[in-house]
Amino acid sequence: MLSLDQIRAAEALRGKGTFNLTPLHFPNSLNRRFPTRAKVHLKQELFQRTGSFKIRGAAARIAALSEAERRQGIVAASAGNHAQGVALAGTAAGARVRIVMPEYAPLTKREATEGYGAEVILKGESYDEACHYARELAEAEGAVLVHAFDDELVMAGQGTIGLEILDQLPDVRAVLVPVGGGGLISGVAVAIKSQRPNVRVLVVQAEGAASAVESFHAKVRRPTDIVHTIADGIKVQYVGERCFDVMQRYVDDMVTVSDTSICQAMLALDEHAHVAPEPAAAVTVAALLDGKVRLPDGPAVAILSGGNVDTFEKMRYFRRALVEERRHLRIRVKLMDRRGSKPRKMAEIFQLLAEHQLNVLHIAYRRDTPDLPLGVVQVEFHLETRGRQHAEAIQRAIIDAGIGL
Protein backbone atom coordinates (compact mmCIF):
# COMPACT_ATOMS: atom_id res chain seq x y z
CA MET A 1 0.00 0.00 0.00
CA LEU A 2 1.03 3.59 -0.62
CA SER A 3 3.38 4.92 2.08
CA LEU A 4 4.27 8.29 3.56
CA ASP A 5 7.88 7.76 2.47
CA GLN A 6 6.78 7.53 -1.17
CA ILE A 7 4.90 10.83 -0.83
CA ARG A 8 7.89 12.55 0.78
CA ALA A 9 10.09 11.30 -2.04
CA ALA A 10 7.67 12.80 -4.57
CA GLU A 11 7.74 16.11 -2.68
CA ALA A 12 11.41 16.53 -3.63
CA LEU A 13 10.26 17.20 -7.21
CA ARG A 14 8.74 20.49 -6.10
CA GLY A 15 12.21 21.78 -5.27
CA LYS A 16 13.25 20.98 -8.82
CA GLY A 17 10.52 23.20 -10.26
CA THR A 18 8.39 20.35 -11.60
CA PHE A 19 5.32 21.56 -9.73
CA ASN A 20 4.53 24.49 -7.45
CA LEU A 21 3.46 25.10 -3.88
CA THR A 22 -0.13 26.33 -4.28
CA PRO A 23 -1.75 28.96 -2.04
CA LEU A 24 -4.19 28.42 0.80
CA HIS A 25 -6.86 31.12 0.92
CA PHE A 26 -9.55 31.95 3.50
CA PRO A 27 -12.51 33.72 1.80
CA ASN A 28 -14.61 35.45 4.48
CA SER A 29 -17.55 36.16 2.20
CA LEU A 30 -17.79 32.54 1.05
CA ASN A 31 -17.53 31.20 4.60
CA ARG A 32 -20.58 33.22 5.64
CA ARG A 33 -22.63 31.13 3.21
CA PHE A 34 -21.66 27.79 4.76
CA PRO A 35 -23.97 26.28 7.42
CA THR A 36 -20.96 25.37 9.56
CA ARG A 37 -18.83 26.94 12.29
CA ALA A 38 -15.65 25.64 10.71
CA LYS A 39 -13.29 28.11 9.04
CA VAL A 40 -12.86 26.73 5.55
CA HIS A 41 -9.71 27.51 3.60
CA LEU A 42 -9.36 26.79 -0.11
CA LYS A 43 -6.34 24.83 -1.34
CA GLN A 44 -6.07 26.38 -4.79
CA GLU A 45 -4.68 23.74 -7.13
CA LEU A 46 -6.26 25.62 -10.02
CA PHE A 47 -3.14 27.84 -9.79
CA GLN A 48 -0.88 24.80 -10.24
CA ARG A 49 1.15 24.29 -13.42
CA THR A 50 -1.17 23.04 -16.20
CA GLY A 51 -4.11 24.35 -14.14
CA SER A 52 -4.66 21.29 -11.95
CA PHE A 53 -3.09 18.98 -9.37
CA LYS A 54 -2.48 16.28 -11.98
CA ILE A 55 1.05 17.46 -12.80
CA ARG A 56 2.14 16.25 -9.35
CA GLY A 57 1.27 12.60 -9.94
CA ALA A 58 2.36 12.58 -13.56
CA ALA A 59 5.73 14.06 -12.66
CA ALA A 60 6.29 11.54 -9.85
CA ARG A 61 5.52 8.59 -12.13
CA ILE A 62 7.59 9.82 -15.09
CA ALA A 63 10.57 10.78 -12.90
CA ALA A 64 10.86 7.12 -11.91
CA LEU A 65 11.15 5.87 -15.51
CA SER A 66 14.43 4.44 -16.71
CA GLU A 67 16.13 5.77 -19.81
CA ALA A 68 15.00 2.66 -21.70
CA GLU A 69 11.39 3.21 -20.65
CA ARG A 70 11.49 6.84 -21.74
CA ARG A 71 12.73 5.76 -25.16
CA GLN A 72 9.76 3.38 -25.46
CA GLY A 73 7.38 6.32 -25.17
CA ILE A 74 4.50 7.17 -22.86
CA VAL A 75 0.79 6.55 -23.30
CA ALA A 76 -1.99 7.83 -21.04
CA ALA A 77 -5.75 8.25 -21.05
CA SER A 78 -7.43 11.33 -19.67
CA ALA A 79 -10.41 13.66 -19.94
CA GLY A 80 -7.93 16.54 -19.90
CA ASN A 81 -6.08 17.36 -16.69
CA HIS A 82 -3.96 14.20 -16.40
CA ALA A 83 -3.33 14.59 -20.13
CA GLN A 84 -1.72 17.99 -19.62
CA GLY A 85 0.34 16.80 -16.67
CA VAL A 86 1.70 13.79 -18.55
CA ALA A 87 2.31 15.89 -21.66
CA LEU A 88 4.34 18.47 -19.74
CA ALA A 89 6.33 16.02 -17.63
CA GLY A 90 6.80 13.49 -20.43
CA THR A 91 8.04 15.90 -23.09
CA ALA A 92 10.33 17.55 -20.51
CA ALA A 93 11.84 14.09 -19.97
CA GLY A 94 12.42 13.72 -23.71
CA ALA A 95 9.80 11.04 -24.28
CA ARG A 96 7.23 10.68 -27.02
CA VAL A 97 3.83 11.21 -25.39
CA ARG A 98 0.48 10.09 -26.75
CA ILE A 99 -2.73 10.86 -24.90
CA VAL A 100 -6.02 9.10 -25.58
CA MET A 101 -8.92 11.40 -24.76
CA PRO A 102 -12.65 10.68 -24.97
CA GLU A 103 -14.42 12.35 -27.85
CA TYR A 104 -16.32 14.67 -25.50
CA ALA A 105 -13.11 16.13 -24.03
CA PRO A 106 -13.31 19.95 -23.94
CA LEU A 107 -11.50 21.70 -26.77
CA THR A 108 -9.51 23.85 -24.33
CA LYS A 109 -8.04 20.74 -22.68
CA ARG A 110 -7.26 19.09 -26.00
CA GLU A 111 -5.49 22.18 -27.32
CA ALA A 112 -3.55 22.64 -24.07
CA THR A 113 -2.40 19.00 -24.16
CA GLU A 114 -1.11 19.42 -27.70
CA GLY A 115 0.49 22.69 -26.67
CA TYR A 116 2.60 20.80 -24.12
CA GLY A 117 3.92 18.60 -26.91
CA ALA A 118 1.74 15.49 -26.79
CA GLU A 119 -0.10 13.77 -29.61
CA VAL A 120 -3.85 13.60 -28.86
CA ILE A 121 -5.92 10.62 -29.98
CA LEU A 122 -9.70 10.92 -29.61
CA LYS A 123 -11.27 7.55 -28.86
CA GLY A 124 -14.43 6.44 -27.11
CA GLU A 125 -17.41 8.12 -25.53
CA SER A 126 -16.07 7.96 -21.98
CA TYR A 127 -12.85 8.04 -20.01
CA ASP A 128 -13.12 4.30 -19.41
CA GLU A 129 -13.33 3.55 -23.15
CA ALA A 130 -10.36 5.86 -23.78
CA CYS A 131 -8.41 4.11 -21.02
CA HIS A 132 -9.14 0.69 -22.52
CA TYR A 133 -7.78 1.83 -25.88
CA ALA A 134 -4.72 3.43 -24.27
CA ARG A 135 -3.91 0.17 -22.50
CA GLU A 136 -4.17 -1.76 -25.76
CA LEU A 137 -1.97 0.80 -27.54
CA ALA A 138 0.70 0.67 -24.85
CA GLU A 139 0.79 -3.14 -24.85
CA ALA A 140 0.93 -3.35 -28.65
CA GLU A 141 3.82 -0.88 -28.96
CA GLY A 142 5.72 -1.58 -25.75
CA ALA A 143 5.09 1.93 -24.41
CA VAL A 144 4.73 2.85 -20.74
CA LEU A 145 1.15 3.41 -19.58
CA VAL A 146 0.87 6.22 -17.03
CA HIS A 147 -2.48 5.58 -15.39
CA ALA A 148 -4.49 8.61 -14.29
CA PHE A 149 -5.05 7.37 -10.73
CA ASP A 150 -4.56 3.65 -10.01
CA ASP A 151 -0.77 3.81 -9.68
CA GLU A 152 1.16 4.16 -6.41
CA LEU A 153 3.64 6.70 -7.75
CA VAL A 154 0.84 8.82 -9.22
CA MET A 155 -0.97 8.61 -5.89
CA ALA A 156 2.24 9.60 -4.10
CA GLY A 157 2.60 12.69 -6.26
CA GLN A 158 -0.96 13.78 -5.50
CA GLY A 159 -0.26 13.19 -1.81
CA THR A 160 2.18 16.09 -1.77
CA ILE A 161 -0.92 18.30 -1.47
CA GLY A 162 -1.57 16.73 1.93
CA LEU A 163 1.96 17.51 3.08
CA GLU A 164 1.54 21.13 1.99
CA ILE A 165 -1.77 21.48 3.83
CA LEU A 166 -0.22 20.30 7.10
CA ASP A 167 2.65 22.77 6.65
CA GLN A 168 0.40 25.68 5.70
CA LEU A 169 -2.33 25.05 8.29
CA PRO A 170 -0.86 22.97 11.16
CA ASP A 171 -4.07 23.08 13.24
CA VAL A 172 -6.32 21.86 10.42
CA ARG A 173 -9.23 19.75 11.69
CA ALA A 174 -10.77 18.48 8.43
CA VAL A 175 -9.92 18.20 4.74
CA LEU A 176 -12.46 17.87 1.91
CA VAL A 177 -11.25 16.22 -1.28
CA PRO A 178 -12.89 15.64 -4.70
CA VAL A 179 -12.85 12.07 -5.96
CA GLY A 180 -13.17 10.38 -9.32
CA GLY A 181 -10.88 7.40 -9.75
CA GLY A 182 -9.31 8.01 -6.35
CA GLY A 183 -5.69 9.00 -6.96
CA LEU A 184 -5.96 12.39 -5.29
CA ILE A 185 -7.83 11.24 -2.19
CA SER A 186 -5.52 8.24 -1.78
CA GLY A 187 -2.39 10.37 -1.70
CA VAL A 188 -3.90 13.14 0.45
CA ALA A 189 -5.44 10.70 2.92
CA VAL A 190 -2.18 8.80 3.48
CA ALA A 191 -0.16 12.02 3.80
CA ILE A 192 -2.52 13.44 6.43
CA LYS A 193 -3.70 10.38 8.37
CA SER A 194 -0.16 8.97 8.68
CA GLN A 195 0.85 12.08 10.61
CA ARG A 196 -2.41 13.45 12.02
CA PRO A 197 -4.90 10.56 12.41
CA ASN A 198 -7.43 12.82 14.18
CA VAL A 199 -7.88 15.07 11.13
CA ARG A 200 -11.15 14.15 9.39
CA VAL A 201 -10.75 13.28 5.71
CA LEU A 202 -14.01 13.77 3.83
CA VAL A 203 -14.60 12.98 0.18
CA VAL A 204 -17.08 14.38 -2.36
CA GLN A 205 -18.12 12.94 -5.72
CA ALA A 206 -20.67 13.87 -8.39
CA GLU A 207 -23.97 11.96 -8.17
CA GLY A 208 -23.76 11.00 -11.82
CA ALA A 209 -20.45 9.15 -11.44
CA ALA A 210 -20.45 7.80 -7.90
CA SER A 211 -18.44 4.57 -8.05
CA ALA A 212 -16.07 5.64 -5.27
CA VAL A 213 -18.83 6.67 -2.86
CA GLU A 214 -20.99 3.63 -3.53
CA SER A 215 -17.98 1.30 -3.21
CA PHE A 216 -16.87 2.98 0.03
CA HIS A 217 -20.23 2.52 1.74
CA ALA A 218 -20.76 -0.99 0.38
CA LYS A 219 -17.17 -1.94 1.36
CA VAL A 220 -16.76 -3.62 -2.00
CA ARG A 221 -15.55 -2.08 -5.28
CA ARG A 222 -18.49 -1.35 -7.56
CA PRO A 223 -18.70 0.27 -11.01
CA THR A 224 -21.19 2.95 -12.01
CA ASP A 225 -23.20 1.50 -14.89
CA ILE A 226 -24.03 4.88 -16.45
CA VAL A 227 -21.92 8.00 -15.88
CA HIS A 228 -23.54 11.35 -16.52
CA THR A 229 -22.20 14.55 -14.97
CA ILE A 230 -20.81 17.93 -15.99
CA ALA A 231 -17.75 17.17 -13.83
CA ASP A 232 -15.67 15.64 -16.64
CA GLY A 233 -12.52 15.58 -14.49
CA ILE A 234 -14.06 12.95 -12.16
CA LYS A 235 -16.34 11.28 -14.69
CA VAL A 236 -15.13 7.68 -14.39
CA GLN A 237 -16.99 4.39 -14.21
CA TYR A 238 -14.64 2.58 -11.81
CA VAL A 239 -12.82 3.69 -8.70
CA GLY A 240 -9.22 2.46 -8.82
CA GLU A 241 -8.50 -0.88 -7.19
CA ARG A 242 -5.44 0.38 -5.27
CA CYS A 243 -7.26 3.61 -4.49
CA PHE A 244 -10.23 1.73 -3.06
CA ASP A 245 -8.00 -0.12 -0.61
CA VAL A 246 -6.51 3.16 0.62
CA MET A 247 -9.92 4.83 0.95
CA GLN A 248 -11.29 1.98 3.02
CA ARG A 249 -8.44 2.40 5.47
CA TYR A 250 -8.05 6.17 5.73
CA VAL A 251 -11.23 8.01 4.68
CA ASP A 252 -13.80 9.06 7.30
CA ASP A 253 -16.85 9.69 5.10
CA MET A 254 -17.92 10.18 1.49
CA VAL A 255 -20.92 12.02 -0.02
CA THR A 256 -22.26 13.00 -3.42
CA VAL A 257 -23.57 16.28 -4.86
CA SER A 258 -25.81 17.05 -7.83
CA ASP A 259 -24.75 18.83 -11.00
CA THR A 260 -27.04 21.72 -10.07
CA SER A 261 -25.24 22.09 -6.75
CA ILE A 262 -21.92 22.04 -8.59
CA CYS A 263 -23.14 24.93 -10.79
CA GLN A 264 -24.14 26.90 -7.70
CA ALA A 265 -20.77 26.24 -6.09
CA MET A 266 -18.94 27.46 -9.19
CA LEU A 267 -20.98 30.68 -9.12
CA ALA A 268 -20.39 31.16 -5.38
CA LEU A 269 -16.65 30.66 -5.82
CA ASP A 270 -16.59 33.16 -8.66
CA GLU A 271 -18.52 35.79 -6.70
CA HIS A 272 -17.18 35.26 -3.18
CA ALA A 273 -13.67 33.84 -3.63
CA HIS A 274 -12.88 35.31 -7.07
CA VAL A 275 -11.65 32.01 -8.51
CA ALA A 276 -12.91 29.95 -11.46
CA PRO A 277 -12.73 26.21 -10.71
CA GLU A 278 -13.85 23.52 -13.12
CA PRO A 279 -16.92 21.47 -12.12
CA ALA A 280 -14.88 18.57 -10.71
CA ALA A 281 -13.03 20.98 -8.43
CA ALA A 282 -16.17 22.68 -7.12
CA VAL A 283 -17.72 19.53 -5.62
CA THR A 284 -16.13 20.15 -2.21
CA VAL A 285 -17.68 23.60 -1.94
CA ALA A 286 -20.99 22.24 -3.27
CA ALA A 287 -21.08 19.77 -0.38
CA LEU A 288 -20.44 22.60 2.08
CA LEU A 289 -23.15 24.83 0.61
CA ASP A 290 -25.61 21.91 0.68
CA GLY A 291 -24.77 21.06 4.28
CA LYS A 292 -23.83 17.52 3.18
CA VAL A 293 -20.76 17.27 5.45
CA ARG A 294 -20.30 17.87 9.16
CA LEU A 295 -17.08 19.61 10.06
CA PRO A 296 -15.52 19.96 13.49
CA ASP A 297 -15.14 23.52 14.78
CA GLY A 298 -11.89 25.11 13.71
CA PRO A 299 -9.82 25.28 10.52
CA ALA A 300 -10.74 23.11 7.56
CA VAL A 301 -9.52 22.86 3.96
CA ALA A 302 -11.49 22.29 0.77
CA ILE A 303 -9.30 21.29 -2.16
CA LEU A 304 -10.07 23.04 -5.46
CA SER A 305 -8.41 20.50 -7.70
CA GLY A 306 -8.30 22.41 -11.00
CA GLY A 307 -9.49 25.29 -13.12
CA ASN A 308 -9.49 24.00 -16.69
CA VAL A 309 -13.03 24.87 -17.78
CA ASP A 310 -14.29 26.00 -21.16
CA THR A 311 -15.55 29.60 -21.04
CA PHE A 312 -18.82 28.86 -22.85
CA GLU A 313 -19.55 25.90 -20.58
CA LYS A 314 -18.75 27.99 -17.51
CA MET A 315 -21.27 30.64 -18.57
CA ARG A 316 -23.88 27.93 -19.14
CA TYR A 317 -23.30 26.60 -15.63
CA PHE A 318 -23.54 30.11 -14.18
CA ARG A 319 -26.87 30.67 -15.93
CA ARG A 320 -28.20 27.41 -14.49
CA ALA A 321 -27.12 28.48 -11.01
CA LEU A 322 -28.77 31.89 -11.39
CA VAL A 323 -32.04 30.23 -12.41
CA GLU A 324 -31.82 27.72 -9.53
CA GLU A 325 -31.31 30.56 -7.05
CA ARG A 326 -34.12 32.52 -8.77
CA ARG A 327 -31.81 35.42 -9.47
CA HIS A 328 -32.89 34.96 -13.07
CA LEU A 329 -36.66 34.66 -13.24
CA ARG A 330 -39.07 34.09 -16.11
CA ILE A 331 -42.64 35.34 -15.70
CA ARG A 332 -45.28 34.56 -18.33
CA VAL A 333 -48.47 36.60 -18.52
CA LYS A 334 -51.41 36.09 -20.93
CA LEU A 335 -53.10 39.30 -22.09
CA MET A 336 -55.90 40.22 -24.49
CA ASP A 337 -54.24 41.18 -27.75
CA ARG A 338 -56.19 44.30 -28.66
CA ARG A 339 -55.55 48.02 -28.91
CA GLY A 340 -55.67 49.87 -25.64
CA SER A 341 -56.05 46.83 -23.37
CA LYS A 342 -52.58 45.37 -23.79
CA PRO A 343 -50.66 48.68 -23.41
CA ARG A 344 -52.51 49.43 -20.17
CA LYS A 345 -51.72 46.01 -18.74
CA MET A 346 -48.10 46.26 -19.84
CA ALA A 347 -47.87 49.66 -18.15
CA GLU A 348 -49.18 48.10 -14.91
CA ILE A 349 -46.58 45.33 -15.12
CA PHE A 350 -43.74 47.78 -15.72
CA GLN A 351 -44.95 49.87 -12.79
CA LEU A 352 -44.75 46.80 -10.53
CA LEU A 353 -41.29 45.90 -11.85
CA ALA A 354 -40.10 49.45 -11.14
CA GLU A 355 -41.55 49.39 -7.62
CA HIS A 356 -39.73 46.14 -6.87
CA GLN A 357 -36.50 47.41 -8.48
CA LEU A 358 -36.19 44.55 -10.95
CA ASN A 359 -34.00 44.60 -14.03
CA VAL A 360 -35.60 43.47 -17.31
CA LEU A 361 -33.19 41.34 -19.35
CA HIS A 362 -35.51 40.32 -22.17
CA ILE A 363 -39.17 40.47 -23.28
CA ALA A 364 -40.71 38.02 -25.75
CA TYR A 365 -44.22 37.93 -27.28
CA ARG A 366 -45.96 34.76 -28.45
CA ARG A 367 -49.22 34.78 -30.42
CA ASP A 368 -49.56 32.26 -33.21
CA THR A 369 -49.19 28.94 -31.43
CA PRO A 370 -51.86 26.22 -31.09
CA ASP A 371 -51.98 26.40 -27.27
CA LEU A 372 -53.05 30.09 -27.30
CA PRO A 373 -56.60 31.17 -28.17
CA LEU A 374 -57.01 33.69 -30.95
CA GLY A 375 -56.83 37.22 -29.64
CA VAL A 376 -54.52 36.29 -26.76
CA VAL A 377 -50.80 37.05 -26.49
CA GLN A 378 -48.38 35.53 -24.03
CA VAL A 379 -45.70 37.92 -22.82
CA GLU A 380 -42.58 36.44 -21.20
CA PHE A 381 -40.38 38.64 -19.04
CA HIS A 382 -36.83 37.51 -18.29
CA LEU A 383 -35.93 39.33 -15.08
CA GLU A 384 -32.90 39.79 -12.86
CA THR A 385 -33.73 39.61 -9.14
CA ARG A 386 -31.83 39.73 -5.86
CA GLY A 387 -32.72 36.15 -5.00
CA ARG A 388 -35.54 33.82 -4.00
CA GLN A 389 -37.48 36.20 -1.71
CA HIS A 390 -37.29 39.03 -4.22
CA ALA A 391 -38.55 36.72 -7.00
CA GLU A 392 -41.47 35.49 -4.89
CA ALA A 393 -42.42 39.07 -4.02
CA ILE A 394 -42.85 40.17 -7.64
CA GLN A 395 -44.79 37.02 -8.50
CA ARG A 396 -47.22 37.68 -5.63
CA ALA A 397 -47.54 41.31 -6.65
CA ILE A 398 -48.58 40.42 -10.21
CA ILE A 399 -51.12 37.89 -8.96
CA ASP A 400 -52.53 40.29 -6.37
CA ALA A 401 -52.87 42.99 -9.02
CA GLY A 402 -55.02 40.69 -11.14
CA ILE A 403 -52.89 41.17 -14.20
CA GLY A 404 -53.31 38.58 -16.92
CA LEU A 405 -55.98 36.09 -17.91
One-letter identity of residue 125: E
DSSP state for residue 384 in the 8-state scheme: E
Q: How far, CA to CA in Å, does 243 sit from each of 128, 146, 158, 202, 309? A: 16, 15, 12, 15, 26
Alpha-carbon distance of 127 to 234, in angstroms, equals 9
Angle among Cα 97, 83, 207 to the nearest 5 degrees reads 150
Q: Helix (H, G, I), strand (E, B), or coil: what is residue 206?
A: strand
Active-site entry in 54, 109, 235, 314:
54
Question: Is position 54 annotated as part of the catalytic site?
Answer: yes
176: exposed, middle or buried (C-beta count within 10 Å: 0-12, 13-18, 19+)? buried
Alpha-carbon distance of 41 to 162, in angstroms, equals 14
- Cβ neighbors of 356 (< 8 A, separation 6 or more) are 390, 393, 394, 397
Alpha-carbon distance of 259 to 280, in angstroms, equals 10
Active-site entry in 39, 52, 305, 314:
305
CA-closest candidate to residue 86, choices 223, 167, 183, 225: 183
Torsion-angle region of 148 (φ positive above 0: left; ψ -120 to 50: alpha; else: beta): alpha
Question: Is position 193 annotated as part of the catalytic site?
Answer: no
Q: How far, CA to CA in Å, does 92 sit from each of 62, 77, 368? A: 10, 19, 63
Catalytic residues: 54, 305
